[in-house]
Chains A and B, each alone.
Chain A
Amino acid sequence: MSQNAVQIRNRLVIFGGLGVALAIALFVSPFASSDPDGLDRVAGDLKFDEKEAAEKPAEKLPFYAVFDEYALRGAPEPIATPLAGLVGTLATFGLAWGVGKLVVRGKSHSEDGSQTEG
């Protein structure tokens, strides 16, 4: 394959993958189960759920003014969680990409193999 075709295929992975993630966050999140998850359930059953800190440190952060858990404050109820998911997905994408970019910066592109040593 030509270099150009490789580039197009790789862009397809990025946009396709990110598109799938955004679609899940936007359109599937309203259908998520609201039952307590594994640890919550155990905490309730074994009566240690009251040990949860009344004031979460995360509520001291400025983001708490924007998001109430997975809900965008001020947004209408049906879209508050999808919008929070949209922002969170993009933020996670950016953070992981940014960390990768900083760490792997300045290395030459190589076609074969993902490792330079064993």
Chain B
Amino acid sequence: MLSQHSPAVFQEEFQMTFATSCFSVLPFGMNGIGGIGGVSIGWRPIVALHIPDGFLNLPVIGVTWVISIALIALALQRVQAEYQDRTVPLMGVCAAFIFAAQMINFPIPGGTSGHLLGGTLAGALLGPWAGSLVMAAVFIVQGVLFQDGGITVMGANIFNMGLIGTFGGYYLFTAIRRSLGRNKLQSMVVASAVGAWVSVMAAAFVCAIQLATSGTVPLGVALSAMLGWHVLIGIGEALITVATLTFIWRSRPDLFFHPPRRSAVSVAQPYSVR
């Protein structure tokens, strides 16, 4: 199924996985098929965890902007020092994929929806530094072009989903993968699933703290409500991350930031005749 490299196969794979992930979290049928197949006219995808203008107060806005700008500056420096120019096209492709995937809200039980954040995906392929730059690019385009995520709170959005999601996802992914065996597909799958789920929970946790610190909503209810929904949204994140990374592992394992070593890969899927 995954032996070909054509985009069509990838797309089919993605859609299939996407559909599976939708159905698998829909046992209660609250959105029913209508949420997936019903092309309702007049809706607008508005995206999860993207804080709009007005939810955060000035101190929280200021602190998150300062941290985000500092980390982006550091990321630019590290990318300049450590990355080769072959990384550049992969940054573009990763950013494009994450932007497109973020448009696709999947329904979760209870009349809510979620979508991919992509931090763990970006980190696994590009490492935390180039990965967080890619995530920042996604949020800038969403905020500036499409009024999705506030402009004044963009620092917070980059901090929560771009930096926490990418660094948290990357380090957890790498640690779990190393401990289970760097060259095994199974350990990559476990590592990316856990990394993706935890990174979404971490982003939701930090978002709740910011809302509470801003006096928008009390901490207790913010935490339980945000984490409650994102337990499920994180499962969607894990499914999409695992499906995408498994496809890349089988077709182009060298694209991973820490590629599996060749001997182990050629057993799983010989991809070059030598």
A contacts, CB < 8 Å to B: 1, 9-10, 12-25, 28-43, 45-46, 48, 51-53, 56-59, 61, 63-64, 66-71, 77-78, 81, 84-85, 87-97, 99-101, 103-105, 107, 109-110, 113-117
Is the Cβ of B48 less than 8 Å from the Cβ of A103?
no
Q: Closest chain B residue to A28 by CB distance?
A: B104
A71 to B42, CA, bound (A): 10
A12 to B40, CA, bound (A): 35
Question: What A residues does B70 contact at CB under 8 A?
Answer: none
Known: A24-B101, A25-B100, A104-B85. A93 touches B7 (CB 8 A): no
| Shortest distance between the CB of A105 and any CB in chain B (Å) | 8
A93 to B41, CA, bound (A): 28
B105 on the A face (CB < 8 A): yes
Is the Cβ of B76 less than 8 Å from the Cβ of A103?
yes
Question: What B residues does A28 contact at CB under 8 A?
Answer: 14-15, 18, 100, 103-104
| Shortest distance between the CB of B259 and any CB in chain A (Å) | 8
A53 to B46, CA, bound (A): 15
Is the Cβ of B103 less than 8 Å from the Cβ of A85?
yes
B contacts, CB < 8 Å to A: 5-7, 10-11, 14-15, 18, 31, 35-37, 39-55, 76, 79-101, 103-107, 111-115, 127, 130, 133-134, 137-138, 140-148, 150-152, 204, 207, 211, 216-217, 221-222, 225-226, 229-230, 233, 252, 255, 257, 272
A114 to B258, CA, bound (A): 9
Is the Cβ of A91 less than 8 Å from the Cβ of B145?
yes
A66 to B93, CA, bound (A): 25
Is the Cβ of B92 less than 8 Å from the Cβ of A19?
no
A95: which of B11, B137, B222 is its contact (CB, 8 Å)?
B137
Is the Cβ of B107 less than 8 Å from the Cβ of A43?
no
Is the Cβ of A46 less than 8 Å from the Cβ of B222?
yes
Question: What B residues does A117 contact at CB under 8 A?
Answer: 81-82
Known: A53-B54, A58-B144. A94 touches B226 (CB 8 A): no
Is the Cβ of A13 less than 8 Å from the Cβ of B252?
yes
Q: Closest chain B residue to A92 by CB distance?
A: B99
Known: A24-B14, A31-B36, A96-B133. A107 touches B96 (CB 8 A): no
Is the Cβ of B85 less than 8 Å from the Cβ of A31?
no
